[in-house]
Amino acid sequence: MSTVTPSVAVKADQFFVTSDPHYSQVNICRGVSTWSPEKVNATRDFDTVDEMNAAIVNGINKTVPPDGVLFCLGDWSFGGRDQIAKFRQRLAVRTIHLILGNHDHHLVKSQDYNHLFTSVSRYKEIRVGKQEIILFHYGCRVWNASHKGSWLLYGHSHGSLPAYGRSMDVGVDTHPEFRPYTFAEVKAAIESRTIQTPDHHHANTD
């Protein structure tokens, strides 16, 4: 008989979430990018990849305590398999759950790096207090229990996808301080909106 894995429970003060660090990606770094000039808004304003990497690492280490729980919603690193471990080794937090993104090819093809993370999956459901949260790399129009108040946190779009319902792009590029979001920050952002039910379901139906 198959079993259903229950959602993971996380304390609010231990919850941190980010997405799309793109650690060591050359083209996303403005000072060394070879992308065409019209794509300059898709780059990060750093002169070198080392400078960009340091900002990513410092943003995480200054925000997430060693005993915190960091959820990274994909696109962990670039520049070869070695960068997966190099990035992980620079972070002080002990617990990282990785939700795979479209650029995490090495992690998909090999299990050799799974030990670096607490879990590696394509999708995860968690609970912070009474708040149900869906974690996925991609933004969606509907998701599990979206009509009952669950949140969808995603990345991939680097701030280009407008907020919809109780969903939120939590990519590092969307945070004004270029760092992970806390639970309180996500809660404040979502609760500041006028929320409409995303589909034909209603809160009092299954």
Q: Domains along the chain?
A: 8-191 (3.60.21.10)
Spell 168-203 as b/e; 16+ CB within 10 A means b: bbbbbbbbeebbbbbbebbbeebeeeeeeebeeeee
Rounded to an integer, what distance in angstroms lies between the CA atom of residue 122 and that of residue 41? 28
Is residue 7 pLDDT above 80, yes or no?
no
Band of residue 37 on the pLDDT scale cut at 50, 70, 90: confident
CA dihedral sign of residues 53, 44, 107, 100: positive
d(C-alpha 40, C-alpha 56), whole Å: 19
* pLDDT, position 143: 94
SS3 172: helix
pLDDT level of residue 193 (50, 70, 90 thresholds) = confident
Q: Which residue has the higher pLDDT, 35 or 204?
A: 35
pLDDT tens-digit profile of 66-123?
A: 999 999 999 999 999 999 999 999 999 999 999 999 999 999 998 899 999 999 999 9
| Three-state SS at 96 | strand
Give me the pLDDT at residue 1, please.
43
58: nearest Cα among 15, 32, 21? 21
pLDDT at position 152 is 97
